[in-house]
Structure 1
Amino acid sequence: MESERLVSLDVFRGMTIAGMVVVNNPGTWSAIYSPLAHAVWHGITPTDFIFPFFLFIVGSAIPFSLGKRIKAGGADRAVFAKIIRRTIVIFTLGILLALIPKFDFANLRIPGVLQRIAVCYFFASILFLYLDWKKLAILSAVLLLLYWILMTLVPVPGCITPDINSKVCNLAALLDRVALTEKHMWKQAKVFDPEGILSTIPAIVSTLAGVLAGMRLKRDNPKLEKAFGLLATGICLCALGYIWNYSFPFNKSLWTSSYAVYTGGLALCFLGFCFWVIDIKGYTKWAFPFRVFGMNALALFVLSGFLSKLLILIKIDGGEGKLISLQSAIFKSVYLPLAAPINASLL
């Protein structure tokens, strides 16, 4: 397995990126099925699984992409160069997407999906080079507990007590407002950023969960034992995350520790199942499209983001002297006649 791509991991990545494209590009945001929308604050929907799944997959690939290049006793310059180069490329692509179409650097949103992926990849890769699986697991637990303490106990100026029920009175939001300022945060929120600074810590743990899964899959154990191990660990983490949710609620925007644990458990279960179906049982024909998506995930995400902005940017005559976006025109003239708005939006 050292020299081979893990087909189930490519398929898992492809299914995840396909889901990301679907939920990020509805025909209209005014008519979407509730499972295809993010939870407003506390809570979780299937859409909230996608980003942590992707970070988990990024982590799972690290032992395969870096492991074979590590020299005995440490890593050489080529490994560090690869990590830094990939980090810069992904982060830069995120910034470029954020700049389109206005290229307004004064109001550029600095955090973002690709930017978070880049940061998480960097730290997870460096930690993989220097820590064994036990130390990675312990560090992950410590970081999640520390984040819980910071978010629930550290006071926020102007607030009576720290309150994760508030979008203002929590430490993550405060740090975003101070370090990024409103001009460089998510414009829809203004008081916090869902890919902000402090919440990146538990997001790194989501990536480390993938690293640990990848390390397990690279062992010489029987394949069935690997699949069972992933599923069993995933079920335990789902249970732990669900229980933790009662004191530290699921929240994607804050990337709460319970959310990281629960989605990490689900990702382990999903990867374990894919590994059993594809790499053990050999059922691969159905998965070919997803494998192609998975092997070109970054290009697909960037192209999807660029095209969606382009379709909104281009304006055409909508009648009665009004200009509407090309995206809106396509939805109304092509998809809306075929189905009810909520179904047409999905098409």
Structure 2
Amino acid sequence: MNSTARLPATHSEKLIRAPRVASIDIFRGLTMTLMIFVNELAEVKGLPWWNYHAPANINVMTYVDMVFPAFLFILGMTIPIALEHRFRKNNSMPQLWLHIVQRTIALLALGFILANAEQGNSALMGLGTNLWTILALIGAVLFWNVYPNSDRYRTLFRVFRFSGLALMVVMFAIFRRTTPDGHTAWINPSYPEILGLLGYTYLAVSFLYLTTRRWRSAPFAWFLILTVLCIASTGKWIPFPGRLPLYMWPFGNGAMASIAMAGVATSSIFVEGHGAQATTLREKAIFATLFGAAALILGWLLTPLGISKIRATPTWCLYSIGCSVLLFTILYWVCDVKKLVSWARFARPAGENTLLTYLLPDFYFFIVSACGFTYFTTHANFGLLGALRCMVFTALILALSALLTRWKLRLHI
């Protein structure tokens, strides 16, 4: 899931392998950590209201509502870095577009697996839904694992990779569900889960970025256009974004794309590369602070349109963008300027091996469900004790991610 967060080369025509941008990895790792925690916390009862997603009919947002936008923002930040790095390695635009499409399809495939996992009909498929999901995810791990560059085991690694692909294809082929009207149907594409939403947004924003990549101000212009689209759609001034499925119009109502494009714009401030000019740290910090503050002020001005993650209102987008920009500015100064990164060591594996870390809680959930283990659904599931259990669970997932990363199990699409 994570694009390679590297500074693009800036010297003549020669490709230079640059160091990773530590603040991007750490921001992504912290976001992943919080996502694991709040997802587990959603099943805990008896906590203050601000520990859950805000209901759609209330104009308010909680810190939980800002986790997904942070993912979108980081996705946007990595788009110019990863695409420029890939383009310098191979300056074939068709190959670059092929990579974008393949990555989008991969995210959609994983999203459809997770979104349809509990909709399957075991009797029609011939195996339980939990087992179906586990096998499909194992196939994904085998196919998208980054195998070592070894001549000795090259054939074995190819067998693993193609076995994973075959396993996913078979799982998709046998999937069956029963519709509300009693008919038998295949995969339900109506909601592609978070990974699928990231895939559609990645495709849309990559298209806008590549078509105007020569102009440094283009991301800011696109950000404004997408924000206007979100405003017009939320205000019911234009009807079409809400009527078109994402596979026809991946921009949606402009909300997700605007957040990701804000990440592209922020990347253009901090990362010197194609189309960017060298600036001092002071200038970067001032520009980013003004950008973040402007997003917060505009979000406040648009509060009459509502504040809601579920309704994807512009204020939710702009508040999330403003906080993400300001937080990243601080992280950049701490992690890339002052080189203080040891404090975030617990989150680095989640930031560098994001897709695997994302899937680990799903593996846990479907494995324990298949085994009939229900202890935590009836115990340690209320109040402070439940919150502490979620903290322990998050720490264990991060530790397992670090261990698997050390064992060279790393997913990349």
SS at match of 1:19: helix
Q: Determine if the alignment matches structure 1 residue 151 to structure 2 residue 234.
A: yes
Give the structure 1 partner of residue 45 of structure 2: 30
2:200 to 85, 101, 119: 119
Q: 1:68 to 1:44 in 2, by over 3 A?
A: same
Q: Which one-letter code corresponds to 2:254 in the other structure? A: I
What's the CA shift string for 1:110-160, capped at 9, x where partnerless? 32211110000111112111113423322322232233223323598xxxx
Q: Which runs of 5+ in 2 are unaligned?
A: 1-6, 9-17, 121-174, 180-187, 273-277, 393-413
Distance 1:263 1:150 in 2: 19
Q: CA deviation at 1:105?
A: 4.2
2:105 to 42, 67, 88: 88
What's the CA shift string for 1:162-199, capped at 9, x where partnerless? xxxxxxxxx87x738xx69xxxxxxxxxxxxxxx9775
Distance 2:101 2:210 in 1: 14
Tell me if the contact between 1:11 and 1:294 (Cα under 8 Å) persists in the aligned partners.
yes
With 235-244 and 102-111 compared, the bigger mean Cα shift is at: 102-111
Q: CA deviation at 1:230?
A: 1.7
Q: Which runs of 5+ in 1 are unaligned?
A: 157-170, 181-195, 317-324
Tell me if the contact between 1:69 and 1:75 (Cα under 8 Å) persists in the aligned partners.
no
Distance 1:216 1:292 in 2: 26
Tell me if the contact between 1:27 and 1:327 (Cα under 8 Å) persists in the aligned partners.
no
What's the CA shift string for 1:89-117, capped at 9, x where partnerless? 11111111122243544553632211110
Q: TM-score, normalised by structure 1?
A: 0.77
Q: CA deviation at 1:87?
A: 0.9
Give the structure 2 partner of residue 55 of structure 1: 72
SS at match of 1:153: coil
Distance 2:62 2:49 in 1: 8
With 306-315 and 3-12 compared, the bigger mean Cα shift is at: 306-315
1:79 to 66, 74, 96: 96
Distance 1:292 1:212 in 2: 26
Q: 1:310 to 1:26 in 2, by over 3 A?
A: farther
Tell me if the contact between 1:241 and 1:258 (Cα under 8 Å) persists in the aligned partners.
yes
Q: TM-score, normalised by structure 2?
A: 0.65
Q: 1:154 to 1:228 in 2, by over 3 A?
A: closer
Distance 1:155 1:64 in 2: 34
Distance 2:223 2:264 in 1: 11
Q: Which one-letter code corresponds to 1:208 in the other structure? A: M
Q: Which one-letter code corresponds to 1:290 in the other structure? A: A
Q: 1:82 to 1:345 in 2, by over 3 A?
A: closer
Give the structure 2 partner of residue 260 of structure 1: 317
Tell me if the contact between 1:90 and 1:115 (Cα under 8 Å) persists in the aligned partners.
yes
Tell me if the contact between 2:298 and 2:318 (Cα under 8 Å) persists in the aligned partners.
yes
Distance 1:291 1:135 in 2: 31
Q: 1:86 to 1:77 in 2, by over 3 A?
A: same
Tell me if the contact between 1:14 and 1:297 (Cα under 8 Å) persists in the aligned partners.
yes
Q: 1:25 to 1:133 in 2, by over 3 A?
A: same
2:243 to 169, 175, 182: 175
With 267-276 and 282-291 compared, the bigger mean Cα shift is at: 282-291
Counterparts in 2 of 1:181-196, with a 5 A limit?
A: none
1:229 to 272, 287, 293: 287
Distance 2:100 2:381 in 1: 45
Tell me if the contact between 1:62 and 1:125 (Cα under 8 Å) persists in the aligned partners.
yes
Q: Which one-letter code corresponds to 1:292 in the other structure? A: P
Tell me if the contact between 1:32 and 1:346 (Cα under 8 Å) persists in the aligned partners.
no
CA RMSD of aligned residues (A): 2.9
Tell me if the contact between 2:23 and 2:335 (Cα under 8 Å) persists in the aligned partners.
yes
Q: Which one-letter code corresponds to 1:279 in the other structure? A: D
Tell me if the contact between 1:94 and 1:114 (Cα under 8 Å) persists in the aligned partners.
yes
Q: Which one-letter code corresponds to 1:88 in the other structure? A: I
Q: Which one-letter code corresponds to 2:21 in the other structure? A: L
Give the structure 2 partner of residue 281 of structure 1: 338
Give the structure 1 partner of residue 136 of structure 2: none
Tell me if the contact between 1:249 and 1:258 (Cα under 8 Å) persists in the aligned partners.
yes
Q: CA deviation at 1:214?
A: 1.2
Q: Determine if the alignment matches structure 1 residue 67 to structure 2 residue 67.
A: no
2:326 to 248, 269, 294: 269
Distance 1:343 1:284 in 2: 26
Q: 1:134 to 1:18 in 2, by over 3 A?
A: same
Q: 1:75 to 1:17 in 2, by over 3 A?
A: same
SS at match of 1:289: coil
Distance 1:290 1:19 in 2: 10
Q: 1:126 to 1:94 in 2, by over 3 A?
A: same
Q: Which one-letter code corresponds to 2:97 in the other structure? A: F
Q: CA deviation at 1:237?
A: 1.1
Distance 1:243 1:211 in 2: 24
Q: Which one-letter code corresponds to 1:175 in the other structure? A: R
Q: 1:228 to 1:305 in 2, by over 3 A?
A: farther
Q: 1:291 to 1:129 in 2, by over 3 A?
A: same
Tell me if the contact between 1:94 and 1:113 (Cα under 8 Å) persists in the aligned partners.
yes
Distance 1:110 1:206 in 2: 22
Tell me if the contact between 1:231 and 1:272 (Cα under 8 Å) persists in the aligned partners.
yes
Q: Determine if the alignment matches structure 1 residue 15 to structure 2 residue 96.
A: no
Give the structure 1 partner of residue 116 of structure 2: 99
Q: CA deviation at 1:282?
A: 1.4
Give the structure 1 partner of residue 224 of structure 2: 141
Q: CA deviation at 1:28?
A: 3.3
